[in-house]
């Protein structure tokens, strides 16, 4: 058995943050039932290009494998009634909507405790369910700007820049999943469920960590650093090589000594200007050009070999293709494949959480409403006649399961 096979989650989710977090739980064995509104075509991620066809896309596949999908219109009395009946058989309700929406759709603990006192209701919203921004939409891009991330990213003198990945969304999903597991643990221990009010804004703010502590404690405003350099440890940054780029770090004294020895300039280790972290930071305008000149004389692969032999932390600045083909990627079994009826063979990266052996089999992301009949029959004992009645009442939106 996988670790979470005894966990059932009803997910009212869309796009990235919520689906990423629930997919990690699904990969660990949780029964993740994705609630989609067929009136709106389901999760909007189904229509994101490129590699998009009909009601499916590779983008959607990347966040929704190993889940089941049911079509349910929560704006109708019949749809809400079905949802409440399903909640009686679930451990958690998990949503990523605006902060004012969960209560409107009946997704809070106060609204579901009567059918399941142990239910855990997780809301992952942009700004939380309270505060002046609770009803505002939020996206990763916006929050990277609001939380100060963009002010720290990019080259000095250039425009603010976001990360190349949706890190607020991804981390928010992981935080929501962690909150869900903590809530379910407490509910199984105490017999009482709860709400988990998680926000992308708080996730992004919490990840400011030491730059925030520097600013709050000493009034130090962190700034962008050339070549993505560490804000305080010198040297630790990108260096241009004869054929590309390398990231190398002297984050301990032994690493700095190993670096300059590997570069053929060992005397720098005994130069009083570079004796420790503070002195290297103070004299970086002298030190870094010397290191840069040395790095430029050989290829990235050659420096990886030399620095690696000296025990210095380093790595190439890869393309995505290079990263996916790295020997460590293959050694850790990070790549997986699923067959899709419309998209063909879809190759993806496995989830990051490991508990025991990584699962060897994966299910493709579900079609919109693919498991409506299956789930309602399995959990509620719904008959074909009852399904037809529910469909006529609008419970499933425009499509009959």
* Burial tier of 318 (Cβ tally within 10 Å: 0-12, 13-18, 19+): middle
Decide the pairing of beta strands 52-53 and 68-71.
Answer: unpaired
> 269: which DSSP letter?
G
Q: What pairing do the DSSP bridges indicate for beta strands 236-240 and 245-249? A: antiparallel
Alpha helices (H) along 39-139 = 58-64, 77-87, 101-105, 109-112
* Nearest residue to 104 (alpha-carbon basis) of 142, 134, 139: 134
Q: Which of 364, 375, 360, 371 is nearest to 2 (CA)?
A: 360
**CA–centroid distance for 355 within its chain:** 18
- Known active-site residue 169: yes
256's CB contacts (< 8 A; 6+ apart) are: 235, 250, 269, 274, 280
Q: How many other CB atoms are there within 10 angstroms of residue 78's CB atom? A: 17
Selecting among 169, 195, 197, 270, the annotated active-site residue is: 169
Q: Crossing angle for the helix pair 372-380 and 77-87, nearest 10 degrees?
A: 60
Peptide bond just before 50 cis, omega within 30 deg: yes
| Residues identified as active-site | 169
């Amino acid at each position: 058995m996988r670790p979470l096979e005894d966990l059932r989650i009803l997910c009212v989710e869309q796009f990235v943050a919520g689906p990423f977090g629930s997919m990690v739980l699904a990969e660990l064995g949780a029964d993740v039932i994705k609630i989609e509104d067929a009136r709106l075509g389901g999760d909007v991620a189904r229509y994101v290009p490129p590699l998009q066809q009909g009601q499916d896309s590779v983008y959607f596949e990347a966040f929704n494998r190993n889940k089941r999908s049911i079509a349910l219109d929560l704006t109708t009395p019949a749809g809400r009634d079905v949802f409440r009946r399903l909640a009686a058989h679930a451990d958690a309700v998990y949503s990523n909507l605006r902060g004012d929406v969960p209560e409107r759709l009946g997704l809070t603990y106060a609204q579901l405790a009567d059918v399941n006192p142990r239910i855990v209701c997780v809301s992952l919203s942009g700004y939380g369910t309270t505060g002046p921004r609770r009803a505002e939409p939020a996206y990763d891009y916006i929050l990277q700007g609001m939380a100060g991330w963009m002010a720290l990213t990019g080259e000095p003198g250039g425009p603010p820049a976001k990360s190349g990945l949706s890190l607020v969304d991804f981390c928010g999903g992981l935080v929501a999943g962690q909150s869900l597991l903590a809530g379910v643990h407490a509910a199984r221990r105490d017999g009482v469920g709860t709400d988990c009010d998680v926000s992308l804004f708080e996730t992004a703010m919490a990840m400011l960590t030491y730059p925030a502590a520097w600013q709050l404690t000493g009034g130090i405003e962190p700034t962008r650093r050339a070549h993505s350099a560490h804000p305080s440890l010198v040297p630790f940054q990108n260096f241009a090589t004869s054929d590309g780029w390398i990231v190398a770090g002297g984050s301990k004294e032994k690493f700095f000594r190993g670096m300059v020895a590997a570069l053929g300039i060992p005397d720098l280790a005994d130069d009083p200007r570079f004796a420790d972290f503070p002195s290297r930071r103070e004299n970086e305008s002298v030190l870094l050009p010397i290191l840069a000149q040395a790095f430029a004389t050989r290829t990235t692969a050659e420096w990886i070999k030399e620095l690696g032999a000296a025990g210095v932390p380093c790595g190439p600045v890869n393309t995505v293709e290079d990263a996916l083909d790295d020997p460590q990627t293959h050694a850790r079994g990070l790549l997986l494949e699923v067959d899709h009826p419309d998209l063909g063979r879809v190759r993806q990266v496995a989830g990051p959480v490991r508990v025991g052996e990584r699962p060897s089999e994966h299910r493709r992301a579900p079609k919109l409403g693919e498991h409506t009949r299956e789930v309602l029959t399995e959990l509620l004992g719904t008959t074909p006649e009852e399904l037809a009645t529910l469909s006529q009442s609008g419970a499933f939106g425009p499509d009959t399961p």
